[in-house]
Amino acid sequence: MAILNILRYPDPRLHKVAKPVTVFDERLEKLVADMAETMYDAPGVGLAASQVDVHEQVVVIDITEEKNALVAYINPEILWASDDKQVYDEGCLSVPGIYDGVERPSKIKVRAYDVKGQPFEVDADGLLAVCIQHEMDHLKGKVFVEYLSPLKRNRIKAKLQKEERGMEREAALRAQGRRY
């Protein structure tokens, strides 16, 4: 297993639409294992393949405190969403340190496949429903900050770009053997 590099907003690769998985093989199992390790290491409760620059419809989620209930959702699709909505403060491994309220359906029914290609359905509410919808947005090339006002979104983009420049500067200084 390996820790994968998580793309950071506003990286344009986060806006690529993921393609359905057509082959359920060892490569897919390794991708899911690597994504799980990456998600737990980050730490997070969900990760879409799009966030690690693999544009296939693969999501891993584990909302438990113990981190022992990993579920892989391959080619997930929402079959039903409730009319009632709720606002959750969402965060994202691709938008580190940023949290804001996003309104989504409070309950959903999802159909997906496991890593062996077996179909399954899940009725979800609460954090699980939010997490599934959030990760599925990534597969469509959408990041949660796009639900926010243009002003908030632009502030977040500027903040993350400034942080990125700072990290690049530190890496360059380190490469030169200088302290920062």
Q: What is the CATH number of the domain that holds 20?
A: 3.90.45.10
Number of structural domains the chain divides into: 1
- Convert the pLDDT of each residue in 15-69 to its tens digit: 999 999 999 999 999 999 999 999 999 999 999 999 999 999 999 999 999 999 9
Distance of CA 166 to CAs 53, 88, 162, 163, 175, Å? 23, 31, 6, 5, 14
Residue 1 lies in a domain: no
* 118's tokens: 């077996």
Nearest to 144 by CA among 106, 107, 98, 82: 98
Residue 46 lies in a domain: yes
131 marked among binding-site residues: no
Question: What is the share, in percent, of the chain residues with pLDDT greater than 90?
Answer: 86
Domain region containing 104: 12-148
Distance of CA 97 to CAs 5, 9, 90, Å? 17, 12, 11
Which pLDDT score is estimated for 120?
98
Q: Is 75 helix (H, G, I), strand (E, B) or coil?
A: strand
Amino acid at 105: P
Which pLDDT score is estimated for 172?
75
* Spatial separation of the C-alpha atoms in residues 17 and 167, rounded to whole Å: 28
Q: Which residues have a catalytic role annotated?
A: 135
The average pLDDT across 65-92 equals: 96
State the DSSP code for 42: T
55 marked among binding-site residues: no
Which pLDDT score is estimated for 160?
87
Which pLDDT score is estimated for 163?
85
Whether 178 shows a pLDDT value over 70: the answer reads no
Residue 171 lies in a domain: no
Q: How confident is the model at residue 175 (pLDDT cuts 50, 70, 90)?
A: confident
